[in-house]
Every structure is written in structure tokens, then in C-alpha cells.
Structure 1
């Protein structure tokens, strides 16, 4: 029996979407929570916070050798130019970027060091890079297919802090954003019924069910072991068409999917 196609556009301005935002804001306002609590929530609903257009898969805690572990990696479609991987390091929303003297906080320094460690590892272990992050090249410092982001603290209107943050971004070739920026992203009302992959391969794919399923915004992150199973084919280009069946075979969905289905009963 053919599966039902869902209209993800119904999610915009829905009770389900509002529930996700409410739960997230409740976490942000709870100063007793730790980084692991935010990681757990984001891992269960990554699309709403991390996925721009052309991204429908996020990895949680990918192990880089035996020494390092990422928080998240967003897998972005790069078409024939090569798959793009955005490494995301999260700290606590209750962490300050700078201390009372205007110097980087210990948490910000730790996050920056984590990024440098990842960069150094990828430069030194090209075999790992090619095997588990397949793309067109293994460059890090220029023309790279690897991007880096730190999510830390809350939004600040302090102009000096904002300028310092931008300076660190420019000097380290990374992006630093607040948890409030994740809230802004989660508030968007863009939920297309088909994946936002604009390639001939995806356009001419006749299986509408697979395309609709790939666009499902309720997917959870995949684990280290699951990702390493998916990427073993080693395709460096057109990730979402070359790995489509593997992605869907390993997909799991969060509790909000059940809420969505209850809210929009079909006849």
C-alpha cells in the first residue's frame, strides 16, 4: 500500500510548531540546565534550528579518531561542487562570551580551541577525512568544504562585544552565534513539501513519496555509527540524490511528528 504524502506546509503557524518553540524557550529560560540538556533537545529536532535550504541531515557526536567528538555536523548539498559539512560546537546559553574586563571567557576560549583541534585533526588525517566526510577536496584553510560554527550565550546589544565577536569570527574563519539566533531560525515558517535540493537528479526523481519523506522536518540526528554506515559509498557530489535511500532507511522521527499527525487528520 502506498504511503500517504504529507503537506509539511501545514506546520507553519500550527499548534505543533508553536509547541516546539514553547518547549525550546522553556529550556533557554531554565538556568539550571547544562549543555547536555540543550544538545539532547537539538539532537531530537535539528531541522528547526540548524538546517537551512539544501540540508536534510544532521550528525550528532561524530567521533574524529579517538581524541575528538563533534557536537553536530550539518550536511549541506553542494551539488557538483562537493558536499559541505558545517561543524557546530555548542556551549551553554547561560555562558558569557567576555568577562568583566572584556577578555574572552573560558568557555569561549574552550570552544575556539575545540575548533582548532578539529581543524588540526582533519589536516593531519586525510584518510579519515576522505572516508567519513566525502567531498571534492580535503582543504581546510581555503576553498574548503568544511565550515565551523559556535553557538554560545544569549543575544547582546553591547556594541563593543558585538565588534569583538565579529573580530574573532574573521580571524578564525568561523561563525559565532547566540542561542537566540537559533530561536529566530526555529520561528521561520518555511516547511516545503519537497526537499529544497535544486538539481536535475532530484527534479526528475519520479518517486514523490521519497521526496516528501526526505522533506519531513521532524527527523532526528543520526549517530556516529549510523553516519559512517551511510557515507561508506563515498560519493563526493550530489549527496542527497546519491544517498537518498540510505538516509531514509536510517531515519528516525521525534515526538512532534506524532503531534503533527494528530493535529492534521486526513480523510
Structure 2
């Protein structure tokens, strides 16, 4: 089955009747490993008097489309890709209110790193666009690395392939794989498990079949292959599938 999305309790920049509130329901979705990371970073900021306050977390397909249209129309200046190109759509990205963290941006990077949370800009310059954007890439970093190494070429950028892998891994829509989502899911799993299968394109070709044969899955149905690959992924990346982060800590603290 696809990896799950869970509801993290984290503060947002939004207010109701003038009072700050946690992330709205429609945005409060994250992978289990990102949820754990958010809670870890929040606790790491407390000794410095900082707070973890988010302006964005999960985006649905329609929310990502609107963000993209706002960018292309000039309504917002920060780049926002078309649906299918953002880690926000997989519950693996968030935007942080830097005015609340009470530490420098480079210090925040250091606090976030042990939790697997990384920036997308090269240097911690608070004047750089997207300095507020962070990701918990998990096993999908392997897809990024796979494309960066030139092992596949059907995405314009490795980051786009990584986002596609992350999105389909939680069972959500990606326009590139209409009608072949399950096959693309198999390909994403094989890449993350270390197999060289060519492009992640939703078409099970000879190299995919060879990889499946090596795993003893060549005779299985597509559903059976997915079930077996899920078991392997859960063994290798358990933090992506199981929610172990307790919610007792109030986001207001």
C-alpha cells in the first residue's frame, strides 16, 4: 500500500479571531518521518527561545495548481512549479516563518540536519528566494541521485523526478503517469531499492522485468509485486511508513 500521510500538530502563521492557530486541516498533512522531524526541530529551537511556525506544508493538486498560477501571473514572486513538481504535494516539504526561529538561518540548518530536514538553496542566505523552504526527502533522495547520475532522462531535473516519486509513493495524482500510476510506483520502488531500471515512466520494460526477476517477482501480478515491494521498502525505510511521533506536546509551546 502507499506510504501514509499523518496530521502533525504544528503552529502556523494563520490566525482566527486574532489568535494564532495550528496549521489548517487542509494543509496539516505530512509523511511520518517529516512529522517526527518537525517535532524534533521544534524541541531543538526551544533552548534558544525559538518557535517552529509554518506558512505552508501539504498542498493538494489543486492547491499546487493555484500556487503555480499565482506565480505565472505575477501575483506571487516566489517560484512555484506546476502540479507534480513540488515536494509539498507529497507531504515532504514545509515553509517556515524565519522571524520566529530566534536563531540564524545557518544555525537552523544545523538544527534541522539531524532530523533529515534539508534546504533547497546552496548557502544559508536569508535574502535568497526559497530560504524558508525545507524538505524531508527520505528515500526519494535516491531517485534524485539516480537521475543526477544520468541513469534516467525523462524528467527535466532530478528534483522533478524526486517529487514525482514522492507523490506517487503516497498514492496521489501525477499527470505524467495517468493510467500507469501502479507501474510508476513499482519503478520508484525498484530505484529506491537500488536497481537500475532506466526511466521512471510508467512502462515496465526489459530492465524493470529483470529487476523484478532478481527479486523473485517476475511471475507475480502487478498487485502482488507492489505488495512485495512495499514490504521491502518498509524494512529498509520504516520511518516513512510508520508514525512513531507522539502528539502530546502542544504546538503552542
Q: Same fold (TM over 0.5)?
A: no
> With structure 2 as the length reference, what TM-score do the two structures score?
0.29
